[in-house]
């Protein structure tokens, strides 16, 4: 009787860990695409430059922000990176999203554009909490 219960718990634990891994990798891949691939491919375009200018920031700020976004997204997506660096990357993205929302609100007021930082924050938090769930020895 005990062995059957142990087997059921082991199977349940394995299934939960599989779904957590899937959740982590999907959400982290989306963050990588949004903060890593998009800035690398579009950060130098006129539209991106105009967006930074519209918010009142100097051009060099956009360049520096894109470099840090690309580095941070690589830190999150590469499994061998130490946990401390991942924590810093998550924190940096939280600050980036919060200040992006504040900038949009300050310049454009309340608009549909404010929804984007909220959606990205939710995806980032899903990645963060699933990462920590995978790092914990027990569920």
Domains of the chain: total: 1
Q: Is position 87 within any domain?
A: yes
List, as one string, the DSSP characters of 21-54. Answer: HHHHHHHHHHHHIIIIIHHHHHTTSHHHHHHHHH
Answer yes or no: is pLDDT of 31 > 70. yes
Higher pLDDT, 24 or 6: 24
3-state secondary structure of 3: helix
Q: What is the mean pLDDT of the chain?
A: 91
| CA dist list (Å): 88 to 6, 94, 124, 131 | 38, 10, 13, 14
Q: Is residue 8 domain-resident?
A: no
Answer whether residue 13 shows pLDDT above 70: no
Its domain, for residue 57, covers: 27-135
pLDDT digits (tens, 9 = 90+) for 44-98: 899 999 999 999 999 999 999 999 999 999 999 999 999 999 999 999 999 999 9
Looking at residue 3, its pLDDT comes to 75
Q: Average pLDDT in the 98-110 region?
A: 94
Residue 22 domain-assigned (yes or no)? no
Give the pLDDT score at 96.
96
Select from 30, 40, 98, 45 the least CA-distant residue to 69: 40
In a domain, 103, yes or no: yes
Check residues 12 and 95 and name the one with the higher pLDDT: 95
């Amino acid at each position: 009787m005990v062995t059957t219960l142990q087997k059921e718990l082991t199977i349940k634990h394995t299934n939960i860990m599989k779904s957590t891994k899937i959740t982590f990798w999907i959400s982290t891949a989306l963050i990588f695409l949004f903060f890593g691939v998009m800035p690398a491919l579009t950060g130098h375009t006129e539209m991106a430059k105009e967006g930074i200018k519209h918010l009142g920031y100097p051009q060099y700020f956009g360049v520096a922000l894109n470099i840090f976004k690309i580095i941070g997204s690589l830190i999150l997506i590469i499994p061998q990176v130490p946990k401390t660096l991942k924590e810093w990357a998550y924190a940096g993205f939280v600050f980036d999203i919060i200040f992006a929302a504040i900038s949009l609100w300050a310049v454009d007021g309340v608009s549909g554009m404010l929804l984007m930082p909220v959606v990205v924050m939710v995806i980032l938090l899903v990645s963060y909490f699933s990462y920590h769930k995978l790092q914990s020895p027990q569920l």
